[in-house]
Chain A
């Protein structure tokens, strides 16, 4: 009797340990990703280009007024002479830089004639690398901020040349690419999926052809996404190159690839949604003289709205997270000009690119992962809320 009770408790304890481990796993993933990534998360990251751009130039004019000290943060040094405020900060990659925190609109720094031609204004956020003087050796960033401040403030020093940088490390491009991908993919796969789902639910005959068609569509879900990536590379890219202004890998090809991946689940979910629309509604419509097309358009599709929305959100979640298929089609080079006919990695592919570099940039990858996780969480919660809301008002 005691032996049996012991066996029973062990069994029960093991089930408890299992679920606790699973919960622990979730916690660990979130903890790791957030602790690594949250440090870099700020608005600038989301809006900056990835590539840093270096500029070299000099003042266009020598006339500049006196400047008043606006109140700035405590670590900012205001250079009265030129009307700029600089501080020692960290850039998005974690390096120490001298950042322009404030540039007065009348400051000579707003009108720099570049060596390569053209002129540019220094804006806040840019970093100062080096200032060359006529009278004394150049002041470098590596010499520290105090050195720079005193060199610039000294009335006896005349600036000969400036070297500054618009910093990169931002993920704006990847964000925008991901948004484009979502839009394009939904535009392609939703109509396809809904119409196929409608066919199976409303119009398909119960014959061999229907069964075979269904089987073939279901088989798609068994194909790993990397194979879809190969198809994207070998079929969809040439196809889009021939039919659009694209000249290589592009977002449209990426969207087509994702559409193929999502097709089975979209069809399945919408078909289920259509089947769940109660029979009486259809019968009432037909009894009022509407034909099947009208019934489908005005009764069935609206009736399955919650399913359609659910599948949209699921698709968005899948698109954001998909990496293997898109690595081939979009490449891993992060660009800053994002066009629908250009290639530019999505967020997930960007993580991959960061992790396969030497050395891997775990912090930035985690930051992107934080963004992805938050979005995915919100999507999931929204699906739940949606289902509850929409079903309350209906049947």
Chain B
């Protein structure tokens, strides 16, 4: 089993506010790692560190060490564009571009320089299939993305991220804006995807974490409280606080 991320001493400040305090964690390849914790505990901030999306926030200060795979350098020293080719992200609210379904999925590869129409067609179809959306849209890929339902749009965003063939997929509460049926479909999708990708998912729902993840990290007030296999976290956690959270006594 190899590690896809090695995180040491990771801290994040937004101005005077400390969002993350000295996080230390190892994330394993081809596993689903869930990040849970009450609102504002820093799990989304942590997620955004992994593909350097925090760079986009002006007053965010990120210190510490994140190693991606075998890199000897901290990812802060790596070209963020290269990093984002390998680490994709799906957001909480589906955000397809106001373009056709095809153009949405082809966006990533096109920006990275792919021009060959045949290859692009291949990529689009493959990604849509991987996201379990292809059968529903294959008749008209030129249809506007915004005409799809919420659940379909989110799967489109997943397809869009997969088009770059990343190694890691970061998901920030991907089903919180969707209805139960759409949620179910995406959870099934995640179970499939983990065979080929490493998935790190922030979720508000304990049940979801229990259902789909292999490992779970419990965050509280910017600190990583406990990190273990999902089984342990939910049946026999080390900390009382963890147990209180997963059984719903708070948060």
Contact = CB atoms under 8 A, between A and B. Distances in A.
Interface string A1-23: 10110000000000000000000
Contacts of A4: 113
A4 B115 CA distance: 12
Nearest to A4: B113
Interface string B104-125: 0000000001000000000000
How big is chain A's contact interface, by range? under 10
Contacts of B113: 1, 3-4
- If over half of A's interface residues share one DSSP class (helix, strand or loop), that class is named, otherwise mixed; here it is helix
A4 B113 CA distance: 8
Interface residues of B, number: 1
Nearest to A3: B113
Interface string B80-120: 00000000000000000000000000000000010000000
A3 B113 CA distance: 9
Nearest to B112: A4
Interface in B31-49: none
B78 to A, nearest CB: 14
B80 to A, nearest CB: 14
Interface in A1-59: 1, 3-4
A395 B229 CA distance: 53
Nearest to B82: A1
A395 to B, nearest CB: 27
Nearest to A1: B113
Contacts of A1: 113
Nearest to B79: A1
A7 to B, nearest CB: 10
Nearest to B113: A4
A24 to B, nearest CB: 30
A178 B243 CA distance: 80
A93 to B, nearest CB: 59
Interface in A248-304: none
A282 to B, nearest CB: 35
A1 B113 CA distance: 8
Interface in A157-171: none
B204 to A, nearest CB: 34
A275 B113 CA distance: 50
A107 B161 CA distance: 96
B42 to A, nearest CB: 33
A182 B113 CA distance: 60
A208 B98 CA distance: 33
A1 B82 CA distance: 11
B21 to A, nearest CB: 37
A4 B111 CA distance: 9
A270 B113 CA distance: 52
B67 to A, nearest CB: 24
A382 B135 CA distance: 61
Contacts of A3: 113
B177 to A, nearest CB: 31
A4 B114 CA distance: 11
A3 to B, nearest CB: 8
A323 B110 CA distance: 52
A3 B111 CA distance: 12
A233 B113 CA distance: 63
A211 B113 CA distance: 50
A12 to B, nearest CB: 15
A3 B115 CA distance: 13
B112 to A, nearest CB: 8
A117 B37 CA distance: 103
A239 B146 CA distance: 56
A296 to B, nearest CB: 41
Interface in B162-212: none
B156 to A, nearest CB: 25
A3 B114 CA distance: 12
A16 to B, nearest CB: 21
A1 B114 CA distance: 11
A319 to B, nearest CB: 42
B41 to A, nearest CB: 35
3 contacts: A1-B113, A3-B113, A4-B113
Interface of B: 113
Among all A-B residue pairs, the 3 with the closest Cβ atoms: A4-B113, A1-B113, A3-B113
